[in-house]
Structures are given as structure tokens and as C-alpha cells.
Amino acid sequence: MASSAQHPQPRRAGIVGASGYTGAELLRLLDSHPEISVEVITADSQAGSRLDEVHPWLAPLGNRELVPTTPDAVDGLDVVFCGLPHEASIELVPQIMDRVGHVVDLSAGFRFKDPAVYPRWYGFTHAHPELLDVAVYGLSEMNRDALVDARLIATPGCYVTAAVLALAPLVSGGHVADTGIIVDAASGVTGAGRRAEISYAFTTVDEDLTAYGVAGHRHTPEIEMGVGGRVLFTPHLAPMNRGILATCYAQPLTDGARTTDGLLDALATRYAGERFIQVSDAMPHTKACLGSNLVQITARYDERTDTAIVISALDNLTKGASGGALQAANIALGLDESAGLSRIGVAP
């Protein structure tokens, strides 16, 4: 891995789609990054607006103007973070790949190697399937070596990050079966992005909890890809701004997986030394992860039903999106992996 000492000047970054929640979160995180300087912030519908008008909490960053999203706007930058809808990213990324050092895409546009996934689960045909083999999946704890010097990084989904980090070590280690896995997860409203639909209005969401995307949510194939097994996934919309809690169920295969201590030991062994994953017997809390890049994980064995239960919590905008993207970008750029990221939540 390259030493940051070889690059005395800050890396020049651009955030495409800075009017959305993931773009705003990247700006918040990068404000404390010692080696990345945000030089360009773009938007489409909000182009021409001041940053402090669009995101009042970012007012200390100054009254910078959001410029239109064009390839010329990011030309020559060291790294560009794309916070656009899937098809918009698929259109833009090929136009900027040869103009910038690294592209970190937060959409699902480049997460799969098989282009057939897109019409089946996302409803469109991929316009640039040649880039799917170029893209490196950006879940750092699972794909760290491949991320070194990666030119195009596909950041995983928020639900996916919670489920995969909870389950993948147990499936790959042969502790639990790779079929019959159930993931029930709840997300804060920001998981849907910055949207004006009545479904996400305060009076609709407040004091309510509902399932959606039942028996066919588009994150299902990505969870299965990361977990390495067949998964039934049901997401829920929770009346909170941000956070994900995932409760996962699997069939144990070994004597060790038929004890709580055995499950916890398997997870702790896999994640030993991982700065942003905390395995303990304490119950995870979304609020404990608020604003941080931390994932809390615990496990239990239910003897009555012979079931392994794994529970994880994270902030969907940080570790589940912008924080995970920055972590992967740090690796690709040869920087300290934790730069700009905290593992301490904001509470109360």
C-alpha cells in the first residue's frame, strides 16, 4: 500500500449529487479528513443553490455554490464520490473514469458482475456492462485487498452492510447453513434518500412501523451475494431519521454454533482487529451508532427452535453509505483507513 508521505498535498475530491443525504454526509465526514480536500460539489435540480441553503447544518463549510453535474466539473480530481440514482451513475461514470483518479459510486449501478441482475431486480438494462468487471465491491472488511488502488469502487447498500457483516463469517466458516436464512431489518427514513413523497412525510412515518418490498426487495440479490447463501429479506421503515437494526436467523451446523458463546467467538475471531466492528454480548442499538462508522454485532442461540440469531446495528448514512464509501476510498488511495471516520456515536 502506498504511503501517504508520497503525497504531501491533500487529495482533491469531488462530490457528485451533493444535494442528497449521502452527499451531505460525505461533506460532514470529509471536513475532518486530514488528507482529502473537497474541491467540487455538484447537483442537478439544486445547481446554483448555496450549500448552506440546501443543508443548513453544513453552514460552517461556507456559502459554496453547487455547480451542475458535468464531466468537465470533476476533471483532474483524485477521487470522485457519486451520490446519484443508479441509472444516472451508470451514465456518468464511464464519462469520468479516464478524467479522474478514482470513482466511488454509492448507487447499485456497479455492484454486480452479472448484468442480468439489473432488469430482474432494478427494472432496467445496464448500459455499460463492460464496467461491471472493472468495479471493486467496496465492503472494506470483506474485500480490503482488492480495494487497494481500485479505480472504480461500488459501495454496498446499507441493509446489505448490516446483514453481510452479521452473517457472512458464520456462513463461510461452515457454522450455519447457507439456505433458509432470514433477515428482518428496520431502517430510518433517510434510507429512502431525500424525497418529497407523502409516504416519507413526518405525519406518515411518525408513530408508525411498516414492512415494504416484501418477498422481492431489490437488496435481496446483493445480500445473497455477500452472505453466500439463500436469504429471505424483509425490510421495515422505522420512525427515526437514521439507523438500521438487522435481526438475522440461520440454521446452526456445528456444536459451536449451538451455543451463544460459540457464535460470539466465531464472530469475534473473524473481526479481531477491525476498528469499526464491535462484537459483544450486549444488544446493539441504532442510537449508539448514530453518526459513527461503527457496526455493533451480537448473537444468541435459541435451543428451543435450534436457531442461530445474529443482530447488527449501524448508521445507514455513515457505515451504510457515505462512511463505508470513505473507508473504501481511503484504502484505494493508500491513506489511513480510518481517516475522517469515528467509531463513537452521538448521544443522547
Sign of CA pseudo-dihedral 60, 63, 67, 73: negative
**154: nearest Cα among 321, 336, 278, 311:** 321
Question: Left if phi > 0, otherwise alpha if psi is -120 to 50, otherwise beta: which for 152?
Answer: beta
Here the cell at position 248 is 438475522
Catalytic residue among 82, 158, 248, 289: 158
Is 158 one of the annotated active-site residues of the chain?
yes
Question: CB-based contacts of 60: which residues, under 8 Å, 6+ apart?
Answer: 31
Element (H, E) at 96: helix 86-96
Amino acid at 64: R
How many other C-beta atoms are found inside a 10 Å radius of the C-beta of residue 223? 28
**95: nearest Cα among 123, 128, 124:** 128
Question: CB-based contacts of 175: which residues, under 8 Å, 6+ apart?
Answer: 169, 252, 253, 254, 256, 257, 262, 263, 266, 308
Question: CB-based contacts of 332: which residues, under 8 Å, 6+ apart?
Answer: 79, 102, 104, 136, 147, 148, 149, 150, 151, 153
Distance CA 204, CA 141 (A): 36
Sign of CA pseudo-dihedral 229, 235, 241, 247: negative
Cis preceding linkage at 348, omega within 30: yes
| Residues designated catalytic | 158
